[in-house]
Amino acid sequence: MAQLLLIEDDERVRSALMRSLRDLGHQVSSAPDAMTGLRAAVDHRPDLVVLDLGLPDLDGSQMLRMLRGVSDVPVIVATARDDEDEIVRVLGSGADDYVVKPFTAKQLDARIQAVLRRTGGAPADPAVTVGPLRIDPRGRSAHLEGRPLDLSPKEFDLLHYLAARAGEVVAKRRLLTDVWDLPFGGADKTVDVHLAWLRRKLGETAQAPRFLHTVRGVGVKLVDPSGEAR
Ligand code: CA
């Protein structure tokens, strides 16, 4: 599954492709012209862009150069022209691959997978698993032993931050800057209070910790209580 941005001015082609790509498990957003597409590429940071070359506002190669100016997102160009020169030109302007219209969503999907593999952008599952704890940052949900945890936004951020660094002692000052966006010198109490709340929701206490271990004078680390991960 990837987050795709489809830049295509033909409304019928656009909605049909979006539907098919979603059916194939992708998340798809779209833009009807080059300028909207450029903005969306910057704002939504897609894993890959599918770019129709025949757009109303900008020539395809121009669009590619502008896109390359703001992003190194992989791009698959969709061209109606079975024109070798044109294809060579867009590949030279920074496209990663191309498909010639008409194409099926399945063909496009195969190209998408190949490009993502090649560019190393294959969207890894962003979820973090530490023993029986699973945290999904995309859905902002956390599960313990398969049961959903009811966390406040900050508790979630804190848990995700620590779980993504499982086994590593993280200084409370670093938590304040990275999780709370507070400058150095903020109150450590904030962290302690949230850690206490988090412990309660994880069914543990500071005296009998499972996941959250305080290292006195240093910070806190999250560990797999079953000891499989460090
Ligand atoms: Ca078009």
Extents of the domains making up the chain: 3-119, 128-222
Q: What is the distance in A from the centroid of ligand 1 to the CA of 95?
A: 17
More confident residue, 179 or 7: 7
How remote is the CA of residue 131 from the centroid of ligand 1, in Å?
49
CATH number of 3-119, picked from 3.90.180.10, 3.40.50.300, 3.40.50.10190, 3.40.50.2300: 3.40.50.2300
Residue 179: left (phi > 0), alpha (psi -120 to 50), or beta? Answer: alpha
For residue 109, what are its two tokens? 């999907």
Which residues, 6+ apart, have CB-to-CB distance to 197 below 8 Å? 152, 155
Q: How confident is the model at residue 96 (pLDDT cuts 50, 70, 90)?
A: very high
Cα(3)–Cα(28) distance, rounded to whole angstroms?
6
**129-142 average pLDDT score:** 88
Taking the CA of residue 121 as centre, how many other CA atoms within 13 Å lie in the half-sphere pointing to its CB? 19
User: Which of 84-88, 90-94, 153-157 has the highest average model confidence (pLDDT)?
Assistant: 153-157
CA dist 12 and 184 (Å) reads: 53
What's the whole-model pTM score? 0.55
Q: Inform me whether the pLDDT recorded for 22 exceeds 90.
A: no
**How many angstroms does the Cα of residue 32 sit away from the middle of ligand 1?**
9
Mean pLDDT score across all residues of the chain: 88
CATH class of 128-222: mainly alpha
In the chain, % of residues over pLDDT 90: 53
Q: What is the mean pLDDT of residues 37-53?
A: 92
Q: 3-119 and 128-222 share one CATH topology?
A: no
Quote the ligand 1 centre to 19 CA distance (angstroms). 18
Q: How far is the CA of 189 from the centre of ligand 1 (A)?
A: 57
User: 46: CA distance to ligand 1 center in Å?
Assistant: 21
Question: Residues 124, 93, 60, 97: is their CA dihedral positive or negative?
Answer: negative
Which pLDDT does position 137 carry in this prediction? 76
Report the b/e string of 50-86 with b at 16+ CB within 10 A.
bbbbebeebebbebbebbeeeeebbbbbbbeeeeeeb
